Structure 1
Amino acid sequence: MALDQVDRRILAVLQKQGRISNSDLSETVNLSASACHRRVQRLESDGYIRNYVALLDARKLGVPTTVFVEITLQTQADEVLDAFEKAVARIPDVLECHLMAGTADYILKVVAENTDDFARIHRQHLTRLPGVAQMQSSFALRTVFKTTALPIS
């Protein structure tokens, strides 16, 4: 299904205000409430809208430290990649894992209470991941910009 400009406006609003009422959304995008509701349902069923979530404050939840971990594997054999990906997905402190092209095979985004907590995560989880040859960690000093909103043109 191709997206028209109304669909794009709906998506732009919803990804920034996921709890907006259908009435307010329909007014914002200049549609009737029923037409807006049908479009949102279609966008959900077609997979453009995957989920609705609450974005939580890491600082208030006691995990203000963000660490990016570059991981190089011993080999890129399918069974090693699969084993690594299954194991890393079970670590609750890892928010993101990306298979990369470049110097590292994977980049992880990890949250921790502080450097001591990251040392625990590193020791108990990261060093036990299968197939790891090398790891390099970089601590974020400050988040300058962060968004979950995708560009919609």
Structure 2
Amino acid sequence: MQYDRIDARILEIVQKNNRLTSEVIGELAGLSATACQRRLKRLRSEAIIEADVSIVSPKAVGRPIQMLVLVTMERERSDIIDRFKKAIRSSVEVVNGFYVTGDADFVLYVTAPTMEDYEEFTRRFFYVNPDIKSFKTMVVLDRVKAGFAVPVEAPSEN
């Protein structure tokens, strides 16, 4: 997976607004619409662009309660880790899940309609799982920044 300075510019543009037309993106990146479409297709096929998504407000869709949950596993065996990753992927309450280093093994971003719903989720997701040693919940007071934009630097010209 390699990209050049023009690809980097396209990536900056689509991370801010992926609903722009190829004509507009091309104009901003200094390309024709056709050349821009070719580059976007390649960036997607090479998985440099992983997905085209919209960021939805949890409050607007009835899930105003947001938590960060630090999860510590009983043991760090690959089968246990893989099983928990699968559970994370299949849970609608878990919006983002990260396998991390440090004191916790996983960090989860969870949303719920009410605290009662979150409590029910913890019983179903954490308490019945014998592989989980502990979990710590931090309630989000204010979502200061949300997004998936990654800083993209143009590769150096050699």
Q: TM-score range by the shorter chain?
A: over 0.9
- In structure 2, the gaps of 5 or more residues are 154-158
Match of 2:156 in 1: none
CA distance in 1, matches of 2:115, 2:91: 17
Match of 2:12 in 1: 12
SS at match of 1:136: strand
SS at match of 2:60: coil
Q: Does the 8 A contact of 1:100 with 1:107 survive in 2?
A: yes
Q: Does the 8 A contact of 1:66 with 1:109 survive in 2?
A: yes
Is it true that 1:67 corresponds to 2:67 in the alignment?
Answer: yes
SS at match of 1:134: strand
The correspondence of residues 71-150 of structure 1 with structure 2, limited to 5 A, is 71-150=71-150
Q: What is the CA-CA distance between 1:130 and the residue it aligns to?
A: 4.4
Q: 1:92 to 1:129 in 2, by over 3 A?
A: farther
State the TM-score, normalizing by the size of structure 2.
Answer: 0.90
Q: Which amino acid aligns with 1:64?
A: P
CA distance in 2, matches of 1:97, 1:47: 20
CA distance in 2, matches of 1:130, 1:39: 48
Q: What is the CA-CA distance between 1:126 and the residue it aligns to?
A: 2.5
Tell me which stretches of 4 or more aligned residues in structure 1 moved more than 6 Å: none
Q: Does the 8 A contact of 2:55 with 2:147 survive in 1?
A: no
SS at match of 2:152: coil
SS at match of 1:125: helix
Task: Tell me how large the CA RMSD over aligned residues is.
Answer: 1.4
Q: What is the CA-CA distance between 1:98 and the residue it aligns to?
A: 1.1
CA distance in 2, matches of 1:39, 1:73: 43
Q: What is the CA-CA distance between 1:131 and the residue it aligns to?
A: 0.2
Q: Which segment drifts farther, 20-29 or 49-58?
A: 49-58
SS at match of 2:61: coil
CA distance in 2, matches of 1:62, 1:45: 35
Identity between Structure 1 and Structure 2 (%): 29
Q: Does the 8 A contact of 2:65 with 2:114 survive in 1?
A: yes
CA distance in 1, matches of 2:43, 2:84: 33
SS at match of 1:31: coil
Q: Which amino acid aligns with 1:31?
A: L
CA distance in 1, matches of 2:7, 2:82: 37
CA distance in 2, matches of 1:85, 1:130: 15
Q: Does the 8 A contact of 2:68 with 2:139 survive in 1?
A: yes
Q: Which amino acid aligns with 1:113?
A: P
